[in-house]
Structure 1
């Protein structure tokens, strides 16, 4: 019974990730939702992913940052966006301890009041993933738990719009959010 229950849970996790990935592909391919203009679509090589790997779905220690600093993030367009430190997350991948900072827009965007932002770089950048780093979106309700843990699913890491278009103003992940391992999960990048 326990084996069946574990297998069912793993299948459910895979289907959630695969659903997310399919939705991202459809978002870019749908002319009503794509962030790409006609010229950019001609050069677009599509959205591709690493094989889904549940080792990259980690339970992290969640450490809130009370009265976090507002950090100016340089962007791909040479501008500045501001984000407030929201929390630290600590976890292990491949036996190595890792830490990342989760941020919240400053000021908070009215249309996304519960949105949290996890930008990061890792050892795949510029090789099999976009050189400018990738993002994971979280919501405040996703991280509220009684056990002080939060799930970070790198299978849902995606490229910023500026990976495919020069028209966007994408925040560059800060140096403190650089992982010293390869994250072979989420969106890949074809040059």
Structure 2
């Protein structure tokens, strides 16, 4: 079993059985596993984090419930997808320090969650970042609306499809009645 297959197996197990699963009890009963794109080695990158490309002052990212969440811009990365260079701002979570890359690509709303997906870049010993879109995942608000999830900022909305990682979840459950808009969305 590959590392990615093991990651996906453990993720399904967490969603199905763990007390901290984002799924509601009735969703757990129906849960048949998450849907993923096949692994695509061309969507794994090891890149320099351009720390000088952004201000490191804390920023507030909009969320699905309207309660902004604070992050610290760590730098910018550029990768090539479908022969097109695309850039993303990578953030650090306040208080935790891990890297966080929220993004929205051209598959959003068609094959993947309309708001966007997340990625947790890993730092290599030499200070580069591993950006592996095969590990892209949906925020918890993709499963039901009891979660508050940061919305990818405009600078992380790209016009190319990133067909890797987790796809849309078909069993969304609405518990509350609120709505939000996605910056740059035509919806």
Q: TM-score range by the shorter chain?
A: 0.7 to 0.9
Whether the 8 Å CA contact 2:118–2:138 is kept in 1: the answer is: yes
Do structure 1's residue 117 and structure 2's residue 100 form an aligned pair?
yes
Other structure's SS at 2:161 match:
coil
> 1: distance between equivalents of 2:93 and 2:102?
12
Aligned-residue offset at 1:32: 2.8
- Alignment gaps of 5+ in structure 2: 171-187
**CA 1:73–1:43 in structure 2 vs 1: closer, same or farther (change >3 Å)?**
farther
Match of 2:88 among 100, 113, 116: 100
May I ask how many residue pairs the two structures share in their alignment?
169
Larger radius of gyration: 1
Aligned pairs for 1:65-144 (under 5 A) are: 65=52, 68-106=56-94, 108=95, 113-139=96-122, 142-144=123-125
Larger % of helix: which? Answer: 1
> 2: distance between equivalents of 1:161 and 1:145?
32
Please give the TM-score of this superposition, normalised by the length of structure 1: 0.80
- Alignment gaps of 5+ in structure 1: 1-13
> 2: distance between equivalents of 1:20 and 1:151?
16
Please give the TM-score of this superposition, normalised by the length of structure 2: 0.82
Do structure 1's residue 62 and structure 2's residue 45 form an aligned pair?
no
Whether the 8 Å CA contact 2:16–2:31 is kept in 1: the answer is: no
